[in-house]
Structure 1
């Protein structure tokens, strides 16, 4: 939407007009409403921890229990390789971005439908809703990261200089969750069964990502195709930055990153095109 302000007498007037052109994204409006973004993120964080028995403990237990299950099944029974890294640390490092992504995708996909009162009553850039839903789970990621540091100390794994690149891969994880979440958030307004199939999509996506196994288990001829999964670059980047393993295949990382950028740009365009009907359909 474009805002046009006029002074008619002593009463300020604001005209809300539809955006013109498919690629007129008006992202500057998001920056102008950055304070609202802050409060939306803060609201989501408070809602998550309000009236919980153990608070942040739930954030730590989820990846920790999953790591234990993966270690028993894939590390001890199936004996998946872990590239010379103790399997619990190998799995938990991948579970950090995955747990964030799964939570952010679930929240983002239902964020517009869950904000009916805001969408139908006042104007603000609708993009702020899924954006705040994608940013809020970063708090959970920080709590889980503390557990990983304890595991690394237990197994005497020394952090390397690659850890300085970790903020880049965190931003890439946020972009990935937002890129996919924008598509589902807009689709969920039109087709409410999208919310019902999201848990299934997330579950399938987990086994299609290199969490319990390394990318090296994928045949070489299929690795570029496997890189179309945008989480491949995120997870491999986390393992390289935190564990000091060899830098992942540049071609696979490039393909994965390009997919994220394309999905994000397409998601913003589709979301902006669809938001004009949100108030009517929601």
Structure 2
């Protein structure tokens, strides 16, 4: 017997609808309210009716800065390029913490929203993007420490502070690109979540957070620049510190190229496996 025209459509229809590439990017705009909802929900969970959320966003980078200042500035006596060592460290901690938090949040974002993904269609790109936005809120809160440190040490920014939004955009692109890779991989390989903390911890020590990139020998500088966060961190320091240290252009250019490769490659990889998320998750 033929099905009635009034019969409810199956959930598969809603999950598969609008999947064409032409409609997908238009759907991102159509579902912008869901993006706001997910980001705002996670922000409220972290900060509403709790002091530890805001305190932890301030305390974690501050304590890391203190340890790095003691180890690299006090014990190892590494150069600080004419600025107080705490400011040298914290100007790098800001983009690094934003990047590291984004990786952690993005890698688990699809898993934690599994019920939503399996029930209704929407562009899945909304979920990891909202996770990056939540990490960006932590970035803004932690920025208050840097403002306080600069006021304490009497370090005034120069005109180069106007270029900071450009470097923030690069950090956002690096976080988004890498986060998309990890989010998709974590759905395909559930044990991949154990790899992410190691990558974050390892990346902290191979990035110029506790020291200046200038201590890296020139012959190894090109290899060191293959870490895309090197150029991002150097750019932040160049914009914030306002000293006479020039921006090492080969490192910065290679970082931009690598960040763009990560971003567009991450989008393509995420889109390639997006159709299977509702079945696998």
Shift of 1:206: 0.5
- Aligned to 2:247, the other structure's residue is in SS state coil
Within 5 Å, which residues of 2 pair with 1:27-176? Answer: 27-176=25-174
1:219 to 217, 220, 224: 217
Q: What TM-score comes out, normalization by structure 2 length?
A: 0.91
What is the deviation of 1:279? Answer: 0.9
**Deviation at 1:52?**
2.9
Preserved CA contact (<8 Å) 1:233 1:257: yes
| Match in the other structure for 1:247 | 246
C-alpha distance in 2, partners of 1:26/1:265? 16
Cα distance in 2, alignment partners of residues 82 and 250 from structure 1? 20
- 1:49-101 CA distances to partner (integer Å, 9 max, x unpaired)? 24534441111101111111111111100112111111011001110111111
SS of 1:69's equivalent in the other structure is helix
Conservation of the 8 A alpha-carbon contact between 1:25 and 1:269: no
Number of matched pairs:
271
Q: Give the whole-Å Cα distance in 1 for the aligned partners of 2:69 and 2:195.
A: 28
Please report how far the alpha carbon of residue 217 of structure 1 lies from its aligned counterpart in structure 2 after TM superposition.
Answer: 1.3
From the superposition, tell whether residues 182 and 75 of structure 1 become closer, same or farther in structure 2 (CA, over 3 Å).
Answer: same
* Structure 1 residue matching 2:162: 3-state secondary structure: helix
Q: What corresponds to 1:4 in structure 2? A: none
Q: Per-residue CA shift, 1:128-154, capped at 9, x if unaligned?
A: 011111111111111111111111111
Aligned residues of 2:18 and 2:27 also touching (Cα < 8 A): no
- Aligned CA distance change for structure 1 residues 261 and 25 (closer, same or farther; 3 Å): farther
Measure the CA separation in 2 of the matches of 1:175 and 1:27: 18
The DSSP-based 3-state class of the residue aligned with 1:64 is helix
Unaligned runs of 5+ in 1: 1-7
Point out the more displaced range, 265-274 or 226-235.
Answer: 226-235
Contact 1:25 1:268 in 2 (8 A): no
Higher RCO (CA 8 Å, separation ≥ 6 residues) = 2
- 5+ long unaligned stretches in structure 2: none
Give the aligned partner of residue 17 of structure 2: 16
- Identify the structure with the greater strand proportion: 1
TM-score norm. by structure 1 comes to 0.90
Deviation for aligned residue 1:47: 1.5
Q: 1:221-240 counterparts in 2 under 5 A?
A: 221-240=219-238
Q: Is the 8 A contact 1:135 1:174 kept in 2?
A: no
SS at match of 1:137: helix
Post-superposition CA distance 1:165-191 (Å, at most 9, x none): 111111111111111111110010011
Larger helix fraction of residues: 2
Q: Which residue of 2 aligns with 1:197?
A: 195
Which residue among 9, 23, 26 is the counterpart of 2:24? 26
TM-aligned CA deviation for residue 226 of structure 1? 1.6
